[in-house]
Structure 1
Amino acid sequence: MRTLFLQAPSYEGFDGGAGSRYQARREIRSFWYPTWLAQPAALLPDSRLVDAPPHGIGLADITAEARSYDLAVLHSSSPTFASDTRAAAALKEANPKLKIGFVGANVAVDPASSLKRAPALDFVAGNEFDFTIKEVAEGRDWSSIAGLAYRDRNGVVRQNEDRPILERMDDLPFVTPVYKRDLKIENYFIGYLKHPYISFYTGRGCKSRCTFCLWPQTVGGHRYRTRSVQNVAAEVRWAQKAFPQVKEFFFDDDTFTDDAPRAEAIARELGRLGVTWSCNAKANVRCETLKVMRDNGLRLLLVGYESGNQQILHNIRKGMRIDVARRFTKECHDLGITIHGTFILGLPGETRETIEETIRFAQEVNPHTLQVSIAAPYPGTFLYDQAIQNGWFDEAHAEFVDEHGMQLAPLHYPHLSHSEIYHSVEEFYRRFYFRAPKIASILAEMARSPEIMKRRLREAGEFFAFLRERREARN
């Protein structure tokens, strides 16, 4: 079947791709690669991947091509399910014979309900859907395909057994050839990564049990299953030749640094290739491992601090100690490793006092850049069940984003309202970035590079527009 993989248009500037931890429009223009769609696309040589948001592709352009395809696979999320459903209906209207399926965490959690809420859908695929989609595209009998929920000829929803989790990660083809074939990589921006960048996964799953984290609880699982060191290096070598303009590789695994010997082995391979690279990391990596990675091209670590309050970290099962995070951060600073820190406001146990504590902690550890998100209880997570049981999540605030695609504050507590959590984001950003040392650091960075100056000025404009929109929404 000729297959279209689609991240449909939703909100202007909305980063809803399957690589995005929080499906929302960010404070500056940001787009992650649609890696979870590129993976099954790589299994189907005649397929096409359309990532509409970063490429400015409208629904009319997509539906005009709908007659060229037999199968359409759309990635959907909780914030975009309604708009994705409308896109599916438009595709079906343009080509009634087109078979349409949804993938993603949102539909994996409740496939039967998703089918009932979206009449244009023919099927949804759960958990790791790569080979599920491949078998659909090969024309197999749907009743025999593990991981599939579908409508039968009579319109009755059927749900097959779950697909076993993928163990041999080297069985998956590279995703970067799909990027080369179908995407313009210059359209992908992340504020703290060099531009243009490329990201992909070297493994799936996360052994941590953070209650809020979407992917391990819905799609990837809690065991870290990895590609071989040689396989990862081979894809980087391929991408180096295919994308000579790339300035940085980012490895998007949740737990890249959890397997320290493997991380060091990959680092040494990357050092031989002479690439600049970055990855996600917990704030507990040993200094010896940090040195090996730094000496072999590591530039930046994306670190999920989440909170500066130890009890909140216990509440969300983060498995991190504040004192360890402080020591780790100092070692990174001493080694010259840049940190982009991520924080979440509104987690269970949050109070006005803990918000203040987290802001002061961020100022103290002083990552180069940071991102402040609002706790989002996505369906399928422990946080979602906890919020429902405790009455923290009510229908009046059940939306995750506003009409512009910006994050809302869906949770509230007896001692902390939706609006207090929402407004604290702006306060956090202002108090972190509008400090004399931080401003001086940014200006010095801009003075050293005309390219960085141009980029930071653009991002500053987007950032102030973001703050203005939040104020307008508040009023």
Structure 2
Amino acid sequence: MAMKAALVSPPFVKDYMRNARCDFVSLSGTQWYPILLGQCGAWLEKRGVEVLFIDAPAQGLSFEETEVRVKAFEPDWIVFYSGRLSEGSDAAFSNRLCAATGARGVFVGPYASINPEATLSKLDAVKFVVDGEFEHPVAELLEGRDPAQIGNLLWRGEDGTIRRNPRRPPLQRAELDAIPFVSAFFKKHLDVKTYRALSEPYPYMDILTGRGCKWGLCSYCLWVHTFARGPVYNTRSIENVIEEMRFIEKELPQVRSLMIQDDTFTQDRITEFCHARLKAGLKLPWSCYCRADLSAETLQLMKRAGALNLHVGFESADDGILKNVRKGLTRERMTRFAVDARSAGLRLHGDFALGFPGETRETAQATIDWALQIRPHTAQFQLMIPFPGTPFHDYLAQRGWLDKNGYPSYPDLSSAELESISKRAYRRFYLHPAYFAQMLAHPFETVFSRIGVYFKAVPAVFWKRYVR
């Protein structure tokens, strides 16, 4: 009889997005795919495990509804993909679900990897936490391997002592290629219409072609300091990626765009990918994350290869702040990139950050003004989250510059004022005449398909408090 595992992203509050690089309650109803948990599920199925897959926040499932589904499945194991905001709730629900089913449990994911000892110390029924990549450790647990022999695993022994095994090397190309296509797994287990990204044609599909960031130095990034540590970028073969894109075009005809969720799609990999994609004759538009230092020639090649939208961390207009957070780019270089991208016919989704060390009312205003100058197609103005385990967090903690919720709060610029500035930035950007002109030029995409988004976002940026 096959081993049975329930892979669960637990319920929390409405519109909670656990699957993003930094979890938050979405202003726009955005939901990304649970791609890391999905890859784990695909790997377990390949190993002969019967899988139940639940993404409760995206599916709108309550605690009771999730419990009913898991109990009916009668799992041997439950894999919990935990969050930062939801950590306490996830711990309580794991105790409840393991008690109700008699299943063993394990916590996984980037947030569980911030301080895995602390995570495990808060758990009762769950005895295991994986620090870092978790497909292989989870599979080995389910297959009955001695916990003491499983790399990346933290576990509680019979005497209650927490034990930590050495980290295993990150998955390399052959191992990443061996994971079945996550899009095929999602086709089987999820409804693609559940997932939405404001910057992408709907419905869309997320894929991952590599893990880690080749730059890997930014002081605020959760992933490079806790999950895929250091400047490392381990990738699937381009042939494997192209084959998955062929699968999506053929087997998921309702999908209108692809989002490559690699932390940073690098110039050399972009070049190889674009040439392979052109040769393959693929048609589905695609988007990706990249640094704002790609050459004009690369941007033009991306456009020819079907690129639609580039997600770019512009962060701040202040060069001093950019240097403080080790961004490795200047405002001038990123402005030139934005001009080149627009000239190539590419859209930009700009990520702007508020609350880094050195932030003042003047630098924050300069960042908003800069966003209006370079005019990305869509933008977000993030109140930065100092994740424990990052140099950004350590710097603020040492100086007492964190509020009670763990957000930046400086002697002359409180977290409440930073939130107010963030809301003002959204209002200025999305109520600007240039955005209304964009709406008139693309009415279906920016108006009719986003009515629900506006009903959610307007209260959030005018009178509601952000959920922290």
- Could you tell me which amino acid in structure 2 is paired with residue 88 of structure 1? S
Pick which of 384-393 and 283-292 moved more. Answer: 384-393
- SS of the equivalent of 2:24 reads coil
1:262–1:397 distance in 2 versus 1, CA, 3 Å: closer
In 1: Cα distance, 2:297 partner to 2:24 partner: 36
**Residue matched to 2:458:** 464
CA contact (8 A) 1:148 1:159 kept: yes
Superposition deviation, residue 443 in structure 1: 2.4
Q: 1:103 aligns with which of 99, 108, 126?
A: 108
Q: 2:189 aligns with which of 172, 182, 185?
A: 182
The alignment status of 1:92 with 2:94, answered yes or no, reads no
The alignment status of 1:126 with 2:128, answered yes or no, reads no
Deviation readout 1:85-142 (Å, 9 max, x if unpaired): 12101102212x3111111223223222211112121100011111011101112111
**Residue matched to 1:165:** 170
- Could you tell me which amino acid in structure 2 is paired with residue 48 of structure 1? L
User: Normalised by the size of structure 1, how large is the TM-score?
Assistant: 0.92
In 2: Cα distance, 1:437 partner to 1:65 partner: 47
**Residue matched to 2:12:** 10
In 2: Cα distance, 1:462 partner to 1:267 partner: 37
In 1: Cα distance, 2:70 partner to 2:371 partner: 48
Deviation readout 1:324-380 (Å, 9 max, x if unpaired): 111111111111101110111011110001011101111110111101111111112
1:430–1:279 distance in 2 versus 1, CA, 3 Å: same
- Could you tell me which amino acid in structure 1 is paired with residue 421 of structure 2? S
Q: 1:57 aligns with which of 61, 69, 82?
A: 61
In 2: Cα distance, 1:453 partner to 1:349 partner: 37
In 2: Cα distance, 1:219 partner to 1:38 partner: 17
In 2: Cα distance, 1:152 partner to 1:323 partner: 55
In 2: Cα distance, 1:211 partner to 1:195 partner: 33
Runs of 4+ in structure 1 off by over 3 angstroms are 471-474
In 2: Cα distance, 1:212 partner to 1:344 partner: 11
Superposition deviation, residue 66 in structure 1: 3.5
In 1: Cα distance, 2:202 partner to 2:296 partner: 28
- Mind listing any 5+ residue stretches in structure 1 that lack a counterpart? 399-409
The alignment status of 1:219 with 2:227, answered yes or no, reads yes
CA contact (8 A) 1:85 1:120 kept: no
Q: 1:255 aligns with which of 250, 254, 264?
A: 264
The alignment status of 1:156 with 2:182, answered yes or no, reads no
Give 1:70-85 correspondences, 5 Å limit. 70-85=76-91
In 2: Cα distance, 1:63 partner to 1:397 partner: 29
**Residue matched to 1:401:** none
CA contact (8 A) 1:278 1:300 kept: yes
Superposition deviation, residue 465 in structure 1: 2.4
- Could you tell me which amino acid in structure 2 is paired with residue 47 of structure 1? V
1:473–1:93 distance in 2 versus 1, CA, 3 Å: closer
1:275–1:268 distance in 2 versus 1, CA, 3 Å: farther
In 1: Cα distance, 2:449 partner to 2:385 partner: 30
Give 1:16-55 correspondences, 5 Å limit. 16-17=18-19, 20-45=20-45, 46-55=50-59
**Residue matched to 1:404:** none
- Mind listing any 5+ residue stretches in structure 2 that lack a counterpart? none
- Could you tell me which amino acid in structure 2 is paired with residue 284 of structure 1? D
**Residue matched to 1:455:** 449
User: Normalised by the size of structure 2, how large is the TM-score?
Assistant: 0.93
CA contact (8 A) 1:101 1:125 kept: yes
In 1: Cα distance, 2:465 partner to 2:365 partner: 20
CA contact (8 A) 1:106 1:379 kept: no
Superposition deviation, residue 173 in structure 1: 2.5
Superposition deviation, residue 471 in structure 1: 5.8
- Could you tell me which amino acid in structure 2 is paired with residue 55 of structure 1? Q
Superposition deviation, residue 437 in structure 1: 2.4
Identity %: 33
CA contact (8 A) 1:64 1:94 kept: no
Superposition deviation, residue 262 in structure 1: 2.4
In 2: Cα distance, 1:327 partner to 1:111 partner: 41
CA contact (8 A) 2:293 2:334 kept: yes
**Number of corresponding residues:** 454
